[in-house]
Amino acid sequence: MELLAVSPFLFSSAGMLAWGLAAAAPILIHLWNRRRHRETNWAAMHYLIAAMKKNSRRIQIEQLLLLIVRCAIMLLFALALADISCSSGSPLAASATLDARHTVIVIDGSYSMDYRENGRSRFDRAKEEARHLIEATSQGDAHTLVRMGEPPLVVIGDPAYDAGDVMQEIDALQIADSGANLEATLAEVEKILDGANENHPRLSRSRVVFLSDLQKTTWESASAATARLDQLATKSSLSLIDLGQPTTSNAFIENVRMVEPFATLAAPSTFEVDVRRQGDLGAGGESVRMFVDDTLVGQQLIDLSSSEAAAAQFSHRFEKEGDHAVEFRLDDDPLPIDDHRWIVAAAKDQVRVLCVAGSPGAAKFLKFALRPDDAADAAIAPEVINQSALVEIDLAPFAAIFVADAARFTPQEAGVLTEFAETGKGLAFFLGPDADAENYNRLLGSAERPLLPVKLETPSGEGDYRFDPRGYEHPLVEPFRGQQGGGLLSTPIWRYFRVQRNETARVALWLDNGDPAIVLGSGNQSEGVDSVAVIALPAAITTGSGQPWSALPTWPSFPPLVQETLAQIVRGESDRQNVLVGQVLQGRLTASSSAVTAAITTPRKETQRLGRLPDGSWAFDETEVSGVYRLQVSDRADADALFAVNLRTAESDLTQVSREDLPPVLFEASTDEGAFLATGIVEGIPLFRMLLIAVLTLLLLEPILAWKFGSAAL
């Protein structure tokens, strides 16, 4: 859109002035009609000519007036199409009042706005206030709409002039099960104002209206955003409508976790529930109920009257394999959205673990450590194979793979292990004296295939080494705290493999000389999910060189150390199924056929078909609603894969930020107007509506004048 300034006028669409050439049409028609006149002499014409000569001047004036009216219609219509305005300093602008205003409505969509009072939520009140703002505007005013969130949602980005359409968008607006990012919202608002300034110059006034409960998690960052708010204030007026209450109370479920690393049919699974309160809840306890697949299986009463936090523990034994949706609920309160929390437990008959022996007998102690009692109903079922069979076996049923003292890998073996880890399952490597560091680093630790959390160096020199748990801070060694008879600190170690950990890797257990003994990492998966472990010691006593490196495989600390390593690396699969709002759900379809399709159903019962990459992986990022998501795969109709998406509970603290902690610019707008002429906008008073009214008037006047003048001529 090109702006043309011809003092004291402004033309937003100067190209439309070309329609003014149509004003020549009435003149050409008039001249053409005069050319077609023919003189014919007959008796009555003498009397008519005499009368016309007597009134000729009057008739000429009347015809000229009609011609001017017809030309004016075309000219005024062309000016209206050009969207003409007069500059604010002109005398005409002083008497004109038909200026248009742009209102940016920003509604807080964080879940604290779901707090309800007398059956109405703050979000409903915000939408009602937004409707009042629209109803109070004038003809020609425009509106845009933004929902504060994480991230913010621009509902109407280009100024909309139809109030009905804006009302419909407000009615359809839904709250998000997340917090709100104030800085990102302000950035979007500034983009909208700049776009309106450039593309809608006749919107000479603008205002930004925030409707929020001023919850501190969102607004405590307002002081850090003062510079951006000051920048917005140079382009628009800013006003804030407070929809919160200074004193509120709320109870919410902060966290749910399963104590065991996996759920099996052989033993009950234990769940710990953390509940917090904010404000005074009054007398009486808070009921916590446990549901498994929508069936009530347990209930406890906790006391929050004397403390802000309490915990409950539930135990349940699953009777069926597969994914189970476990939900914990509190009694309903004014903020019901945080009274629920879910966790998906994938119950198995047994946890199958594959032990890959790099040499004969290398996995013997490892198998015993994973299943010491060899009972038929044991939770862990280890299976031992030779390394040569790795590329031939179906790895899908296994939850983890332990590689014992492998010297080197073929590219096919490395590819199989990498694909296994990409499904979120666990991998552990015991390093023997024959480990080829160059082979490990090239096939499993390169930039193209970053599976290992370490870079292998060389075997250490001979010495007398011991483990150093460094305060037992890592969860893998925490169970050894206070267990002096466990043998962890007394484990004899004479040699080990030196490794250098990656930047994102975490050391679970050290040696007393400062070198890492057990390193955990995420491989090429999401950071924070430790699904790959490297143990810098062999899993067997007898090595290729004949000289033992350590007595660890026969020491009392070996079985619990192996089992805790298994617990750590298999949690990745559970973590993939239990995420927070806004995080991505992802996985891999086991079937190789491209004909296999997948779809996911959200807690709102909306089903979306998933796209699929060539390697069979899929991802779904529209997780703004908390609850259970169901994955349906066409070749697996008997059971759905479940995913739990939960709240980030920071928004459950309903404490308001005080007005004194907010930038003053939010309260400087005029209370009666709430808008002013923006300094960054070309100031002008739009005249197109006045011109259209004039065109309509002339269109009505022209036939009346033509009829009147024609009758008088006769």
pLDDT attached to residue 683 = 43
- Ranges in the chain, pLDDT < 70: 1-20, 22-23, 25, 27-28, 30-57, 83-99, 282-284, 376, 524-528, 543-546, 590-595, 615, 636-638, 669-689, 710-714
pLDDT attached to residue 379 = 87
Q: Which tokens belong to 483?
A: 């267990």
**pTM flag (> 0.85):** no
pLDDT attached to residue 485 = 73
| Widest pairwise Cα distance in the chain | 144
What b/e string do you get for 372-402 counting C-beta neighbours within 10 Å, with b at 16 or more?
eeeeeebbbbbebeebeebeeeebeebbbbb
Which of 244, 194, 236, 237 shows the shortest CA–CA distance to 219? 244
CB atoms within 10 A of CB 419: 13
pLDDT attached to residue 671 = 40
Q: Which tokens belong to 690?
A: 């006045």
pLDDT attached to residue 20 = 61
Q: Quote the CA–CA distance of 708 and 712 in Å, as a whole number.
A: 6
Which of 199, 98, 97 shows the shortest CA–CA distance to 144? 199
pLDDT attached to residue 16 = 64
Binning the chain into helix, strand and coil, the percentages to the nearest 5 are 30, 30, 40
Q: Which tokens belong to 5?
A: 């300034």
Is the N-terminal amide bond of 479 cis, ω within 30° of 0? no
Q: Quote the CA–CA distance of 253 and 258 in Å, as a whole number.
A: 15
Q: Quote the CA–CA distance of 584 and 685 in Å, as a whole number.
A: 49
Residue listed under structure tokens 């100031």: 683
Which of 640, 639, 635 shows the shortest CA–CA distance to 591? 635
Instruction: Kindly give the interhelix angle for 163-172 and 122-135, rounded to the nearest 10 degrees.
Output: 180
Which of 430, 424, 380, 427 shows the shortest CA–CA distance to 406? 430
Phi, psi of 626 (to 5 degrees): -80, 150
Identify the H or E element spanning 226: helix 226-233
In the chain, the amino acid numbered 404 is: A
Which of 144, 148, 149, 134 shows the shortest CA–CA distance to 191? 144
Q: Quote the CA–CA distance of 276 and 253 in Å, as a whole number.
A: 6
Q: Quote the CA–CA distance of 479 and 466 in Å, as a whole number.
A: 18
Q: 666 and 238 in contact (C-beta within 8 Å)?
A: yes
pLDDT attached to residue 33 = 64
Domains of the chain by start residue, with CATH? 7-32+57-86+684-713 (no CATH), 101-246 (3.40.50.410), 249-347 (2.60.40.10), 350-570 (3.40.50.880), 581-646 (2.60.40.10)
Q: Quote the CA–CA distance of 385 and 368 in Å, as a whole number.
A: 14
CA 650 → CA 128, 132, 336, 605, distances in Å?
26, 31, 15, 27
pLDDT attached to residue 3 = 44
Is the N-terminal amide bond of 8 cis, ω within 30° of 0? yes
pLDDT attached to residue 593 = 52
pLDDT attached to residue 97 = 43
Judged by phi (left if over 0) then psi (alpha if -120 to 50, else beta), residue 294 lies in left
